[in-house]
Chain A
Amino acid sequence: MGAQVHGTQTFNAAKRAEIKFSPEAMATVQKIISQYPPERIKSALLPVLHVAQAEFGGWLSPETMDYVAEVLTIKPIEVFEVASFYTMYNLKPVGKCTLEVCQTSSCWLNGAEDIVRYIEKKLNIKTGETTKDGMFTLKVAECLGSCGTAPMLQCGASFHENLTFEKVDGLLEKYRNEGRLRSYTDMDYHNTL
């Protein structure tokens, strides 16, 4: 059965029964598991959570975490304690595109706050919120290792660097037109290093 309540979300047995990796995702998970000695299967947890987040709507519901625990033959609480520690795992639903604007020193020096303000105005949301159509979530992030190409934002696997307001406009339009969920595990990534 697993834990009944994870964070602010409630466990739903009916939803849990529907959760299953697609064959492709399962193949990826098996490949990850094969990297470790069989008795060390728990080591696969972080990468498998990334696969699960991408597979099940961009966030880790209590049902998803319970399923990951079953796949890795560990306790659900072991999944939750990890999922709640690392910033890349969403424990609440997010928009299809999560825009993470870096705000640490070098990005701040290069106008990251203006980028955040611009996106907030443009999408009519505040940092931390999701647009009504469920398309965009805006977040701020701590140093993403793009200091020489600041300011920058990350969306899924892609780094968008040397940002200007015009670049942000183009980016939002492109993402809105494509309309798909963007995940860290995406194979098509964009970067400008």
Chain B
Amino acid sequence: MGKKLLIHNDHVPNIHTLDVYRAHGGYASVEKALKTMTPDQVTDEVKKSGLRGRGGAGFPTGMKWSFLAKPEGVPRYLVCNADESEPGTFKDRYLMEKVPHALIEGMITSSYALGAKTSYIYIRGEYFYVARIVEKAIEEAYAAGLLGKNILGTDFSHDCYVQVGGGAYICGEETALLESLEGKRGNPRIKPPFPAVAGLWGCPTVVNNVETIAAVCPIVNMGGEEYAKIGIGKSTGTKLISASGHINKPGVYEIELGIPVEEFIYSNEYCGGIRNGKKMKAVVAGGSSVPILPTELILTTAKGEPRLMTYESLGDGGFQTGTMLGSGGFIVMDEDTSIVKNLFTFTRFYHHESCGQCSPCREGTGWMEKILKKILAGHGTEQDVELLWDIQSKIEGKTICPLGEAAAWPVAAALRHFKHEFLDYVKNPQNIKDVKHYYRLNNLVEA
């Protein structure tokens, strides 16, 4: 069993309540930070820990915190990004639902480090019931003097609120999230200025993912150096992985960064292997945005080394032969899966979720969706396959926010590793199994 720091108590009955959470050591980091440490000392521990943003980008959290501008007389904000919408990712939902106080505790400790008197937890609207659970936990924390004025009798006062979103993937992008929090459409902002300088209502703001904020608690408790001993190299600590697809045991697993991918997929402690005794065909390792890899490349790097669950090892080989840890949304596909069809569900997703600000993304995602529809219906040509490659290459790097890349990368990777499948669709349309199904679903008349 690997070490668990975030959801180690998820099996304890009523761990979502304050009393049980505290009885299991909860809020120790608030006590320690507020009573024995300065805010800068807390930030230093986070820096030493090597913690990297758990939302997907993997940016060092301590460094992000140190960018926060601190002009006199201007309020600073901590905003928690709980707009978890990356296909394949459901870890933040699990954490907030099972141990909501782990997030609240992290919010208080982190806000102390940042000097934020107010914080907001922005939860995707579809998770309305999760927001209820978190709000209840916040009420309990207020009643116990862990939120509000003079927390635990110290000089530090803090208010924490929940806001629900309206259903938009783009609000997971931090500046779109801030727009949404301000009551506007979720259109990402042009950067700079970065939120650390001009964020919520133009004030300096740090936006961190749920898991990132929760990880601050064990870091403060054990010390940054201890935390950094877990994991390998620059991938320190533990990570929540959302495992789904054709596996025997889908669910959320907390792993020590550094375990082999093969162990994660096949060991009974984690995914428990592929369902129905089938063979594995491909894996999307970090949420829909990261490149899909075929079995041989997800289990071993191009150099023949075992692939490990770390930022570096999953990224080994670049996009030619590697992928990314991303959000830890681990989607496993068995040998019968159509990579073309799976890509279609991704592309349809990005088309639906593009905010429409930038033409390459707004038009490109819809165009790619249309071409994939055509290929799936048995009317594709070889030129269509080439065109897909061309379109994705013209979206990447040409948009305000990374949704452009997120939409382009899955297309590029599917073509890179599974081009033969696309060509099979266009050359042998008679072999396509579910054409009728497809037409019916899209309310089309069969040609």
Contacts and interface: CB of A to CB of B under 8 A. Distances in A.
A105 B168 contact: no
Interface string A157-169: 1110000000000
Interface in B241-273: 242-246, 250-252
A78 B126 CA distance: 22
Interface stretch (B62-70, B150-158, B222-230, B345-353): B345-353
A123 interface: no
A106 B331 CA distance: 7
Given A85-B186, A109-B337, A193 B125 contact: no
Contact of A193 (B97, B128, B184, B243): B97
Interface size class of A (residues with CB under 8 A): 35 or more
Contacts of A46: 125, 163-166, 180, 183
A162 B445 CA distance: 32
Interface string A173-185: 0000000000011
Contact of A43 (B97, B166, B183, B246): B183
Contacts of B183: 42-46, 74, 78, 82
B86 A143 contact: yes
A113 B434 CA distance: 11
Contact of B126 (A126, A145, A150): A145
B184 A82 contact: yes
Contacts of B173: none
Nearest to B251: A148
A145 B87 CA distance: 7
Interface stretch (B15-23, B297-305, B369-377, B436-444): B436-444
Contacts of A93: none
A1 interface: no
A147 B346 contact: no
Nearest to A84: B185
Contacts of A144: 126
B142 to A, nearest CB: 13
Contact of B90 (A105, A145, A154): A145
A30 B173 CA distance: 28
B341 A108 contact: yes
A56 interface: no
A188 B246 CA distance: 32
A41 B345 CA distance: 38
B418 interface: no
Contacts of A104: 87, 288, 345-346, 348-349
Contact of B201 (A35, A40, A47, A184): A40
Interface in A96-133: 103-106, 108-110, 113, 116-117, 126-127
B424 interface: no
A158 B88 CA distance: 19
B128 A105 contact: no
Nearest to B346: A105
B352 A142 contact: yes
B125 A145 contact: no
A86 B128 contact: no
Contacts of B184: 42, 81-82
Given A147-B250, A148-B252, A185-B128, A85 B88 contact: no
B101 interface: no
A191 interface: yes
A78 B246 CA distance: 44
B86 A86 contact: no
B252 A86 contact: no
Nearest to A34: B161
A117 B346 CA distance: 20
A51 to B, nearest CB: 10
A189 B181 CA distance: 25
B333 interface: yes
A147 B89 CA distance: 7
Contacts of B242: 147-148
A17 interface: no
A46 B167 CA distance: 10
Given A142-B169, A185-B128, A189-B129, A106 B86 contact: no
Interface of A: 35, 37, 40, 42-47, 49-50, 74, 78, 81-82, 85-89, 103-106, 108-110, 113, 116-117, 126-127, 141-150, 154, 157-159, 184-185, 187, 189, 191, 193
Closest 5 interchain pairs by CB? A86-B166, A45-B183, A88-B167, A147-B244, A189-B129
Given A43-B182, A143-B87, A187-B132, 6 more contacts: A49-B166, A86-B166, A88-B126, A105-B245, A117-B437, A193-B97
21 contacts: A37-B201, A43-B163, A44-B183, A45-B183, A46-B183, A81-B184, A85-B186, A86-B165, A104-B346, A104-B348, A105-B331, A105-B349, A110-B245, A126-B443, A141-B126, A142-B349, A145-B127, A147-B90, A154-B126, A157-B128, A191-B129
